[in-house]
Structure 1
Amino acid sequence: MKDMTSLAVLIQEQLKPFVRRIDAEAYYAEEFLKSIGKAGFLNSDTGVDFSTEVHVVEEVSKVCMTTGFNLWCHLASLTYIRNSDNRYLKEEILPQLENGQLLGGTGLSNPMKYYAGLETLHLKATKTNEGYRVKGQLPSVSNLGNDHWFGIIAEVSSDQRMMAVVPCNAEGLTLKAKLEYLGVNGSATYSCAFDDVTIPEKWVVSHDVDTFINKIRPAFVLYQIPLGFGVTEASIASIRQVCNKQGGCNDYLSIQPDELERELKRLRTETYKLAGGEGLFQQWKHLLQLRLRTAYLTSKAAHGSMLHQGGAGYLKYSAPSRRLRESYFLVNLTPTVKHLEKMLHHAK
């Protein structure tokens, strides 16, 4: 794992001062996100360092899960290209995404639900001499902007689906900002309408996504788990901050920091073990279980923090209420908890 000293400085100087604006004014921390790449935390020249990337998401999410979520979106876009055989994407676009020149979004909420049998694909692709033409609409894609790219999966026929990464300024693509969420509005989330968008061959990640999806799903899920770790740890700190208030009456609450810490430690140990070895790609069911357990623990910790903080947490933009809203976002982030429960029920 890389040295994290410079990350702590970046978070302190370029993220912490903006957390209130991110939460209250939908401010998008674009320069901070680019600074992570510029500092070398996402470089994969000598192989993907999953442990470092997971840790970066966790540290960012302790301070602001909205920005941690943006980082997850970016890591998802890296995952698509890292696993592709497309030389143009790997040699021209990937280095810029890893070094902070460009940012990426995921665009795979609907396809992941499609592969779990929950939805039909929203995008349709027609084969052309140059590549494909894509039509349809994605209701929400996050971490988008003028110089951003994002992944898409479209149905070509009943037995073929293709995947590509698309720049936000592609002709025929219309983005509309979405700001009506309970929280996480600083995530640069847009609905994306495709009106015969031309996808040249050089943007194509895979012509056979039904096979390719198995290469990218483990990292897609892995990078979400530290979102919960960050919020849970910050919630535990928030609980400890008020343990002696009002004559120690918080001791009588059913949710206590020691039990939260024990479960967080277990989940961390299991997750970093997977991230640091070959098990990530062999233990799909275990990975889904970790993701689900983390979502439930995060909700419990954020709820517990609200109980311990009392009236101080009930302010609209207090840190505990922000983390509560973040925890609700995590349970609804694809794969959602109900999506995970179904997948685990059918997993081998």
Structure 2
Amino acid sequence: MISKEFSQNDKLEAIIQEQLKPFVRQIDCEAYYAKEYLLELGKAGFYQSRDLPVNHVLQREIALVEETAKVCMTTAFNLWCQLTSMTYLRHSTNAYLKEEILPKLEKGDLLGGTGLSNPMKFYGGMEKLHLNATRTEGGYSVSGTLPSVSNLGDTHWFGIVAEVDDDQRIMACIPCDVDGLNLKEKIDYLGLNGSATFACQFKDVFIPDNWLIAEDADSFIKQVRPAFIFYQIPLGLGVTEAAIHSINKVKSKQGGSNQYLPVQAEELEQELEGLREKTYKLASMTTDFSIVWEELIRIRLEVVYLTSKAVHANMIHSGSAAYIQKSDPSRRLRESYFLVNLTPTVRHLEMLLAGEKQHLEGN
């Protein structure tokens, strides 16, 4: 399986050991942003997609998120943002973005965010779009506010969707230092405060045509949303793997009393391997992921529930040692609650699956 092959990559392991593991507690407790780790992955070639099959790139990057999440889901989430921003540009027909910005993202010269939490909810019928665009000479003028966008910084770029009118929405990739954009950092979350998350206020921000990913965002989103979901699944796979490892470490403590608990590592391992196998198999099957959309969102939902189950079991198996703010089990517990609320959230996923079921029954 590609995930196991990738996990044995010495170069990746060295970067994790040097640029991530020493900072995990600082990331969790002090809102430290592991920017250097993300940049180093690019410099080491882990983002490159040129002349590579789509399925190979997808599987490799799923595995990259999984290996990162085993150590720190906050940084794995930032990595998800980076991979998703590159996915937008890989699918765009905009020559400037593909030839000038994408290579810098893939080389680790630039970092990127997604900005699509609100648009994904809009397309799910849950929210109105927060950004509005007006056509002007050479581009669009955009105003509005995005409550939270992650993996941002002075030199970062990120994706947005803005409504022009009832029949048109545009998608663009913009730099954080553009005139008219005000960023306010958010670090009051239960966890993942080291994710470089900001509220983004747009006031007549000029978006030139060469920053446009697509002038028909409605159609474009359908192309990229499978990757959006694919890169989220390994967040849960990695955290679950770490929780299982932690449970096994305390197996013989307290006189072996953990053996009487209802959820055991073996059960979690079996469920994890089943979902991991489904994920990588699905990623290798086709390049038209619209035909497996229902299965993909079902896996995403099942992974969230398994991760929640695993981290709660980890807390119980670890006992009072877990009930410390800086403990690894408590960090994973808080990370898991973020995964529950990451767009598409659990309730969004349940609604999507219910809608697919009603559609099938209607036919």
TM-score by length of 1: 0.99
**Matching of residues 56-67 of structure 1 within 5 Å:** 56-67=64-75
State the match for 2:165 in structure 1.
Answer: 157
RMSD of equivalent CA atoms: 1.0
Partners of 1:161 and 1:93 lie apart in 2 by 22
Partners of 1:22 and 1:89 lie apart in 2 by 31
Does 2:302 correspond to 1:297? no
Does 2:148 correspond to 1:148? no
Q: Secondary structure at the match of 2:64?
A: helix
Once the two structures are TM-superposed, the CA of residue 247 in structure 1 deviates from its matched residue by: 1.2
State the match for 2:180 in structure 1.
Answer: 172
> Which of 315, 330, 336 does residue 345 from structure 2 map onto?
336
Give the paired residue count: 348
Partners of 1:90 and 1:259 lie apart in 2 by 45
TM-score by length of 2: 0.94
Once the two structures are TM-superposed, the CA of residue 288 in structure 1 deviates from its matched residue by: 0.1
Does 2:35 correspond to 1:26? no
Does 2:272 correspond to 1:264? yes
**Matching of residues 186-197 of structure 1 within 5 Å:** 186-197=194-205
Once the two structures are TM-superposed, the CA of residue 13 in structure 1 deviates from its matched residue by: 1.0
1:45-95: CA deviations, max 9, x gaps? 013411110000000000000000000001110111111100000000000
Partners of 2:283 and 2:46 lie apart in 1 by 15
Partners of 1:322 and 1:291 lie apart in 2 by 21
Aligned partner letter, 1:61? A
Aligned partner letter, 2:100? E
State the match for 1:240 in structure 2.
Answer: 248
Once the two structures are overlaid, the 10-residue window that deviates more, 329-338 or 270-279, is 270-279
Counting aligned pairs with the same residue, the percent is 60
> Which of 134, 141, 148 does residue 133 from structure 1 map onto?
141
Partners of 1:74 and 1:294 lie apart in 2 by 21
State the match for 2:78 in structure 1.
Answer: 70
State the match for 2:40 in structure 1.
Answer: 35
Once the two structures are TM-superposed, the CA of residue 210 in structure 1 deviates from its matched residue by: 1.0
Q: Secondary structure at the match of 1:276?
A: helix
Partners of 1:153 and 1:254 lie apart in 2 by 46
Once the two structures are TM-superposed, the CA of residue 282 in structure 1 deviates from its matched residue by: 2.1
Aligned partner letter, 2:43? K
State the match for 2:15 in structure 1.
Answer: 10
State the match for 1:346 in structure 2.
Answer: 355
State the match for 2:232 in structure 1.
Answer: 224
Once the two structures are TM-superposed, the CA of residue 251 in structure 1 deviates from its matched residue by: 1.0
Partners of 2:21 and 2:283 lie apart in 1 by 27
State the match for 2:62 in structure 1.
Answer: 54
Which portions of structure 1, spanning 4 or more consecutive aligned residues, are displaced by more than 6 angstroms? none
Aligned partner letter, 1:344? L
Where do 5+ consecutive residues of structure 2 fail to align? none
Partners of 2:237 and 2:9 lie apart in 1 by 17
State the match for 1:79 in structure 2.
Answer: 87
Partners of 1:274 and 1:170 lie apart in 2 by 39
Partners of 1:50 and 1:325 lie apart in 2 by 27
State the match for 2:118 in structure 1.
Answer: 110
Where do 5+ consecutive residues of structure 1 fail to align? none
Does 2:286 correspond to 1:278? yes
1:207-262: CA deviations, max 9, x gaps? 00111111000000000000001100000000000011111111111111011000
Once the two structures are TM-superposed, the CA of residue 4 in structure 1 deviates from its matched residue by: 2.0
Aligned partner letter, 1:147? T
> Which of 104, 112, 130 does residue 96 from structure 1 map onto?
104
